[in-house]
Amino acid sequence: MNEGAEALHEHLAGGIGQVARCWAVRRKDGVQMGFTDHDRNLTFAGITFRADTGLSARALQQATGLSVDNTEAMGALSDAAIREEDIAAGRYDEAEVTAWLVHWADVSARRIMFRGQIGELRRGAGAFHAELRGLTEALNRPVGRVFQKPCSAVLADATCRFDLDTPGYVYEGGAAQVEDQRRFIFAGIGSFEPGWFQRGRLEILDGEAAGLSGAIKRDRIEGADRVVELWEPIRASMNPGVLVRLEAGCDKRFETCRLKFNNGINFQGFPDIPEEDWMFVHATQAKNKTGGSRR
């Protein structure tokens, strides 16, 4: 138990509790916000926890073993705190959350009660409800390698090791037109092969949608223009000329890894694994009966 937790324990042992709950929310874009259910602002750990946000929370459910700790935070939507358009844009998806129990008269006496991420987030009637998922949530996800022909890595991750900042794999510039928040039209970037960015990533670099991104569904040349279409629309408004970043796409094939990215040594698939029809073929139907390889 740390010193702050010991001080809080001593305070609670006195029988009169002057405690409040505080939450710190850190979004993936680096924005950090603090909230408290106390009637005045509290400051510690370099964060000011605001009291005027109307935030509250249900009692934390905790259990031993590997069950998921969970709770729910509720609050009013406001321009000064959590805005409805930011929720709609997905800026709070999987945001990190830390919750403390704090002696409000001496904030050095505090204890972390919860640490996790925002799961399902609902909004309506001027309020939001955020499901908070504990650190053990990650243990529900399957891990390990799968024996398959396609690569299991994500382009430029720790296993792929490709550097996307290599010249020729990224384009940054303004989109001449944006249609339905998912179709981006560019002029004068025909130097990349058609389909170069397909299965890649588009990130918004400025404006109201800055920091949001989407997966690229199609990348084709139409006359003098290049048209990049996303699988899902960006959930924020954008104006023509919005600055974007396009990242080359990978279809997970060994030929693409070797020829397009010159990264075959880090390929995380098994390109020579036999197909199912090969493994189940009857020996009498094989053309080569010498006992050697069929490949």
Is the domain of 136 the same as that of 175? Answer: no
Does 145 map to a domain?
A: no
What does the pLDDT read at residue 242? Answer: 95
Query: 198's torsion region: left (phi>0), alpha (psi -120 to 50) or beta?
Result: beta
Does 239 map to a domain?
A: yes
What does the pLDDT read at residue 61? Answer: 47
Is the domain of 39 the same as that of 126? Answer: yes
Is the domain of 174 the same as that of 136? Answer: no
Domain count, the chain: 2
Model-level pTM greater than 0.85? no
Write the CB contacts of 163 (distance below 8 Å, at least 6 apart in sequence). Answer: 156
What does the pLDDT read at residue 131? Answer: 77
Q: Are 72 and 129 in contact (CB under 8 A)?
A: yes
Domain boundary among 208, 224, 247: 247
Does 210 map to a domain?
A: yes
Residue 10, helix vs strand vs coil: helix
Does 162 map to a domain?
A: no
Q: For residue 101, what is the domain's CATH number? A: 2.30.110
Is the domain of 93 the same as that of 208? Answer: no
Is the domain of 187 the same as that of 235? Answer: yes
| Distance between CA atoms of residues 150 and 19, nearest Å | 54
Does 13 map to a domain?
A: yes
Is the domain of 243 the same as that of 203? Answer: yes
Q: For residue 184, what is the domain's CATH number? A: 2.40.10
What does the pLDDT read at residue 2? Answer: 61
Does 47 map to a domain?
A: yes
Is the domain of 85 the same as that of 205? Answer: no
What does the pLDDT read at residue 78? Answer: 52
Length of the chain in terms of residues written: 295
| Distance between CA atoms of residues 217 and 196, nearest Å | 11
Domain boundary among 100, 122, 140: 140
Determine the structural domain holding residue 211 and report its residue range: 170-247
What does the pLDDT read at residue 254? Answer: 96
| Distance between CA atoms of residues 131 and 120, nearest Å | 5
Is the domain of 86 the same as that of 184? Answer: no
| Distance between CA atoms of residues 58 and 71, nearest Å | 6
What does the pLDDT read at residue 92? Answer: 84
What does the pLDDT read at residue 215? Answer: 96
Strands (E), the chain: 19-26, 32-36, 42-44, 47-49, 56-57, 70-76, 96-103, 110-124, 127-134, 170-174, 177-179, 183-187, 201-204, 213-222, 225-230, 243-247
Is the domain of 55 the same as that of 181? Answer: no
Does 38 map to a domain?
A: yes
Per-position pLDDT tens, the chain of length 295: 466 788 888 877 777 678 888 888 898 888 898 888 888 999 999 999 988 765 565 544 444 444 555 566 655 545 456 777 787 788 888 889 888 999 998 999 999 988 888 877 777 666 777 777 877 777 777 777 788 899 999 999 999 999 999 999 999 999 999 999 999 999 988 789 999 999 999 999 999 899 999 999 999 999 889 999 999 999 888 999 999 999 999 999 999 999 999 999 999 999 888 766 666 666 666 566 666 655 5
Residue 3, helix vs strand vs coil: helix
Does 79 map to a domain?
A: yes
Is the domain of 9 the same as that of 134? Answer: yes
Is the domain of 22 the same as that of 119? Answer: yes
